[in-house]
Amino acid sequence: MVRSIVHTAALIASLAFVADARAEGLAPYEITGDGIVDSLTGVPGDAARGRALVLTRTTTCILCHSGPFPETRFQGDLAPDLTGAGNRWTVSQLRLRMVDASRFNPDTIMPSYYRADGLVRVGRNFADKPILSAAEIEDIVAFLATLRD
């Protein structure tokens, strides 16, 4: 209940068409309701590649999350286990969460993976770049959608 109110408030602010692609190189995307309906690349992602990406440390997901990944002990517990994420969220919601989780919860510690502005003291090698590319996000979204109990 509380969650859905926060949800709604955050979303009202963002209901309008968002051309959040101000930073150069970011594909424009449109937020509809509480998600992004269309693939950022125009084509569906690859779930197998997405799984490999989620498990790569440099992608940072498993620093915080755990999930159905028996092959690695190095999983975080700062965030919900990803098992069943595909039941809890639609593809459209997963895509918006990856692009900008702060739209669901302004205080979240989950980084916005497809954003390159509004950040402080970004390291030289990372400046003006999103953490992940549009194609990587699509692969991860495709993988998350397969996480069903």
Binding site for ligand HEC (CB under 6 A): 54, 59-61, 63-65, 78-80, 82, 85, 88, 94, 97, 101, 104-105, 108-111, 113, 140, 144
Least distance from ligand HEC to the Cβ atom of residue 119, Å: 14
**Which residue, 20 or 65, has its beta carbon nearer to ligand HEC?**
65
Strand partners of residue 35: 32
Closest CB 125 distance from ligand HEC, rounded Å: 18
Query: Torsions phi, psi of 32, nearest 5?
Result: -120, 120
Q: How far is the CB of 63 from ligand HEC (least distance, A)?
A: 5
Report the nearest approach of ligand HEC to the CB of residue 5 (Å): 15
| CB closer to another protein, 107 vs 149 | 107
d(CA 58, CA 44): 23
Specify the DSSP element, H or E, that contains 10: helix 2-12
Residue 37 CB neighbours (<10 A):
14
> Does 25 engage in binding with another protein (CB under 8 A)?
no
What is the residue type of 138?
E
Distance CA 99, CA 103 (A): 9
Residue whose beta carbon is closest to ligand HEC: 61
